[in-house]
Structure 1
């Protein structure tokens, strides 16, 4: 498998495989969305098939739910399960305090609801997502279709009083059409370059009429599993504490060739 994957994919594979070790029999598990999370779902499906692992999963998007069902994972809804033992999801950036930017895949609303309904949130990410300060990755903000241009104007006004290095806002597109979330909303991407105070930013954005949710995850993540291209993995807790280090075999059969 090693020769078939790019360096970044090797890192994603490593953290995805390691993260599934946190899942125990009988757990209620939230399944994230994105390329790294998809690999985690397939690895979890392997454990269900080969070990008889008995879990109930709640997906954060329709595409994750479809993948989970394909690999034999029992999928339920959050209304049915209500509370989860664990959520495993990716991130676009994480800082030393384990604050995150999420939403590159446009699923951050459901991802935040599922993560906050969990006893623990474990983030899986390659080492490039580890940043000293959030903001280089555009911040996604889900907004109502109704009056979205007015909402964008209100966000532009709010950014004038916030500690950021950029203020460009773009409507996310899917080909020639606006990208539509699972809830039927639009996504505005805020190109801020640097976010001086993520907590204040998150609070102010969610007070703006028309904003449904932003992609800042503050005080939600408990553990980050960081993957490297050589197969090394690092499990990091709050305060930068190194909880565990190890290596994932990159020579294992390629279970993820279709992702």
Structure 2
């Protein structure tokens, strides 16, 4: 129940709830991965159940696909959808230009493919995700398992000429074994501290053999919906140059959120 949530979870919930209002009947919707995106899936599931909303969702991970089916959303593949009306996803960091770091949940490859196959991308986040400069959150890059240590060395060598503060790359682990993405790849987390030129870094990283994709999302996000622990929600539209604010009230009631 929403009244039992921590302030950070309330912020995530109100951002997701507000963003769900942008979803209309008949839409093909990209469904993101992560804790904030999970709130969105549940909000949409509630509308499907209670209001008869008819949408088709394209999930960006097996975790999201399982949750979407659980709450009653019709799940299809991106190949079946071909193109999407809207993708809503979370972010690990975003700046004033709505450039993002994503991939903390390990689904950056599918997330970027789905987001770029959409008419519009909306990011939902709590206020703590906004930064002046990207890079405090480690930048994930997805690499193929073959020769990953060589790829890591090439990445660290390349970072010497980039406008970043740090150059350490670490293999993401899942317990004592390397983390494995839905595509069977590994994740290298780049501890950069601060990224001076995100656009340049994104292009250069993707030129390194073994790198599949990086977690910098540049010129992809159209809107960001920012939630606050007191129920306030701020929506920024980078294309329209507008900022709007409203507030969502919390109601103690049994619903799709009662098991969170």
Deviations 1:106-151 (A, max 9, x none): 0000000000000000000000001111000000000000000000
Aligned to 1:256: 257
Deviates more, 1:246-255 or 1:215-224: 246-255
In structure 1, how many angstroms separate the alpha carbons of the residues matched to 2:186 and 2:65?
21
Q: C-alpha displacement at 1:241, in angstroms? A: 3.6
Q: C-alpha displacement at 1:22, in angstroms? A: 0.1
Deviates more, 1:2-11 or 1:68-77: 2-11
In structure 2, how many angstroms separate the alpha carbons of the residues matched to 1:241 and 1:168?
37
In structure 1, how many angstroms separate the alpha carbons of the residues matched to 2:4 and 2:134?
32
Deviations 1:170-226 (A, max 9, x none): 110111111000000000000001000000000000000000000000000000000
Partner SS, residue 195 of structure 2: coil
TM-score, normalization by structure 2: 0.97
Q: Root-mean-square deviation (CA), in Å?
A: 1.3
Aligned to 1:72: 72
Aligned to 2:237: 237
In structure 2, how many angstroms separate the alpha carbons of the residues matched to 1:129 and 1:53?
30
1:114-133 → structure 2 map (5 Å cutoff): 114-133=114-133
Q: Which ranges of structure 1 fall in alignment gaps of 5 or more residues?
A: none
Does the 8 Å contact 1:92/1:103 carry over to 2? yes
Deviations 1:46-72 (A, max 9, x none): 101111111111000001000000000
In structure 1, how many angstroms separate the alpha carbons of the residues matched to 2:38 and 2:49?
17
In structure 2, how many angstroms separate the alpha carbons of the residues matched to 1:54 and 1:110?
23
Q: Which ranges of structure 2 fall in alignment gaps of 5 or more residues?
A: none
Deviates more, 1:249-258 or 1:58-67: 249-258
Aligned to 2:222: 222
Aligned to 1:60: 60
TM-score, normalization by structure 1: 0.97
Aligned to 2:159: 159
Does the 8 Å contact 1:99/1:216 carry over to 2? yes
Deviates more, 1:6-15 or 1:232-241: 232-241
In structure 2, how many angstroms separate the alpha carbons of the residues matched to 1:205 and 1:173?
21
Deviations 1:69-109 (A, max 9, x none): 00000000001111000000000000000000000000000
In structure 2, how many angstroms separate the alpha carbons of the residues matched to 1:114 and 1:30?
6
1:17-96 → structure 2 map (5 Å cutoff): 17-96=17-96
Q: C-alpha displacement at 1:243, in angstroms? A: 3.3
In structure 2, how many angstroms separate the alpha carbons of the residues matched to 1:243 and 1:22?
16
Does the 8 Å contact 1:16/1:43 carry over to 2? yes
Partner SS, residue 40 of structure 1: helix
In structure 1, how many angstroms separate the alpha carbons of the residues matched to 2:84 and 2:178?
33
